[in-house]
Chains A and B, each alone.
Chain A
């Protein structure tokens, strides 16, 4: 392994391309940690936002009106405001209200910046996912749902067993798009000092003045991560295809 690190050190002296994240132990460690933090944030937000989308789309069909109004309010709020401002709002405005006193008498917030980023971005992407799933649900033929009702399905069971599986297939391409966007949006967590990849890269290039190198590293890592997600989603889409059911 040391030979690899030494090669990057040699690369710096020979060509001036300064990739400290490979040969400087401290930079390597913090970049690796930033990469893991980004992955964690992405995994949490992807899962939570899809869950919000599935549940929210079901609640949109609720018979009790105030539930629909509340849901619509949530969607409008998160779709109509920039995610950066949402994060600032969560971290600086809501965060200061949710605090508790420690034994020394200093108030500390109950919720940390990573949690706020995870919550904020999940809610942001979730609002879009609800609308994406709604488009899928509305594409499911009315007759199919009526057939399910005729067979004695309740609303919830018809949603889980009939409507959602069909709607999901229709929604996948649009969902795919939104999740790719979500992965890239996790970088704004750096505004509230979540030590994810962009934040760490910013720290490294401030110390080492290797801005172009770190920018390129960031670009390549994100191209790879988004490529991986698109690949997985594409396989999933093909695996779920029902022969003869064209959409």
Chain B
């Protein structure tokens, strides 16, 4: 009796956590419902943010719309944040997550991250417009402010001969840049557009270089779907976005710097047609 009770509790817990239940065919569920529910960011401009009317727009909502159109269903956007996006997917609150998530091994054990990656953040710099930088090679031997512990400080110093001046936090690094202690400030390229919107403070600055050292972003389906029809379908969607140049067009539409990753992926996917 006790054993039966033990199993019962285990099953109940598993069901509550959505371990067993999520195995249901997501694609069928979406078609029956007539809506696709996608988790996107609402606070990460320009990937997912709210327009003045409160509607969520951006690069990732555009991708979500295309998925819904392809399936022939309506789209419902669900705002997520970094700390709840994976749980939403596990619990079945959303069918699909396109929310600026870096593809990491530990995350692959929790959600079904689909390949290929649809985007990659890179490393760039913020520099005064007057400095007129165009290439990374121009920074050789010059002091560039950075954040202590950023993984790309070493390759920047090793490959490009940049003198990294690393501070504890972004505030110190930005102050040191403004005061002229460094010729530029290096960080994730996706962090700069929001900064540059503050014209009063950063009006004389720009993000002038091509982004380098891409860190891939993956969209995700529920883990059991990873190698089932929905996961494979999403792989095909992402491949097609790369092949057709859709992602490059969206990048331009939302005012992002051309990412070498997208260009490279476009070339690779499109070149298959030649064979």
A positions within 8 Å CB-CB of B: 26, 30, 91-92, 95-96, 99, 104-109, 112-113, 191, 193, 199, 202-203, 206-207
Of residues A26, A109, A113, A207, which shows the largest number of chain B Cβ atoms within 10 Å of its Cβ? Answer: A207
Find B128's partner among A106, A199, A206 (CB 8 Å cutoff): A106
Find B154's partner among A92, A99, A108, A207 (CB 8 Å cutoff): A207
Question: Please, which residues of chain B bring their CB within 8 A of the CB of A26?
Answer: 154, 157-158
User: Is there contact, CB below 8 Å, between A193 and B165?
Assistant: yes
CB under 8 Å from chain A, chain B span 146-160: 148-151, 153-154, 157-158
Find B179's partner among A30, A99, A199, A207 (CB 8 Å cutoff): A99
Of residues B132, B165, B180, which shows the largest number of chain A Cβ atoms within 10 Å of its Cβ? Answer: B180
How far apart sit A96 and B179, CA to CA, in the bound complex (Å)?
Answer: 6
Find A203's partner among B128, B130, B154 (CB 8 Å cutoff): B154
CB under 8 Å from chain A, chain B span 166-206: 166-168, 172, 175-176, 179-181
User: Is there contact, CB below 8 Å, between B148 and A206?
Assistant: yes
By Cβ-Cβ distance, the 5 closest A-B pairs, closest first, are: A108-B180, A206-B149, A193-B165, A207-B154, A96-B179
Taking the closest CB of chain B, its distance from the CB of A200, in whole angstroms, is 10
Question: Please, which residues of chain A bring their CB within 8 A of the CB of B180?
Answer: 99, 106-109
User: Is there contact, CB below 8 Å, between B151 and A207?
Assistant: yes
User: Is B12 an interface position by the 8 A CB rule?
Assistant: no
Question: Please, which residues of chain A bring their CB within 8 A of the CB of B150?
Answer: 206
How far apart sit A99 and B151, CA to CA, in the bound complex (Å)?
Answer: 32
Q: Taking CB as reference atom, which chain B residue is nearest A199?
A: B166
Taking the closest CB of chain A, its distance from the CB of B122, in whole angstroms, is 18
User: Is B131 an interface position by the 8 A CB rule?
Assistant: yes
How far apart sit A105 and B130, CA to CA, in the bound complex (Å)?
Answer: 7
Q: Taking CB as reference atom, which chain A residue is nearest B150?
A: A206
Q: Taking CB as reference atom, which chain B residue is nearest A99?
A: B180
How far apart sit A207 and B151, CA to CA, in the bound complex (Å)?
Answer: 6
> Are A92 and B179 also in contact (CB < 8 A) when A206-B148, A206-B153, A207-B151 are?
yes
> Are A193 and B176 also in contact (CB < 8 A) when A113-B181, A203-B153, A206-B148 are?
yes
- A to B contact number (C-beta, < 8 Å): 55
How far apart sit A207 and B156, CA to CA, in the bound complex (Å)?
Answer: 12
Number of B residues near A (Cβ < 8 Å) is: 24
Taking the closest CB of chain A, its distance from the CB of B88, in whole angstroms, is 31
User: Is there contact, CB below 8 Å, between A109 and B179?
Assistant: yes
How far apart sit A203 and B158, CA to CA, in the bound complex (Å)?
Answer: 13
Interface string of B12-44 (1 = CB under 8 A from A): 000000000000000000000000000000000
Question: Please, which residues of chain A bring their CB within 8 A of the CB of B153?
Answer: 203, 206-207
Task: List 8 extra interface pairs beyond A26-B158, A207-B151, CB under 8 A.
Answer: A26-B154, A99-B179, A107-B180, A109-B180, A203-B148, A203-B164, A203-B166, A207-B154
How far apart sit A199 and B181, CA to CA, in the bound complex (Å)?
Answer: 17
Could you list 28 A-B pairs, sorted by A, with CB under 8 Å?
A: A30-B157, A91-B181, A92-B175, A92-B179, A95-B181, A96-B179, A99-B179, A104-B132, A106-B128, A106-B130, A106-B131, A106-B180, A108-B181, A109-B179, A112-B181, A193-B145, A193-B165, A193-B167, A193-B176, A202-B148, A203-B148, A203-B153, A203-B154, A203-B166, A206-B149, A206-B150, A207-B153, A207-B154
Question: Please, which residues of chain A bring their CB within 8 A of the CB of B128?
Answer: 106
Q: Taking CB as reference atom, which chain A residue is nearest B148?
A: A202
Taking the closest CB of chain B, its distance from the CB of A188, in whole angstroms, is 12
How far apart sit A207 and B158, CA to CA, in the bound complex (Å)?
Answer: 12
How far apart sit A112 and B143, CA to CA, in the bound complex (Å)?
Answer: 11
Question: Please, which residues of chain A bring their CB within 8 A of the CB of B151?
Answer: 206-207
Taking the closest CB of chain A, its distance from the CB of B100, in whole angstroms, is 23
Of residues B149, B165, B166, B181, which shows the largest number of chain A Cβ atoms within 10 Å of its Cβ? Answer: B181
Question: Please, which residues of chain B bring their CB within 8 A of the CB of A99?
Answer: 179-180
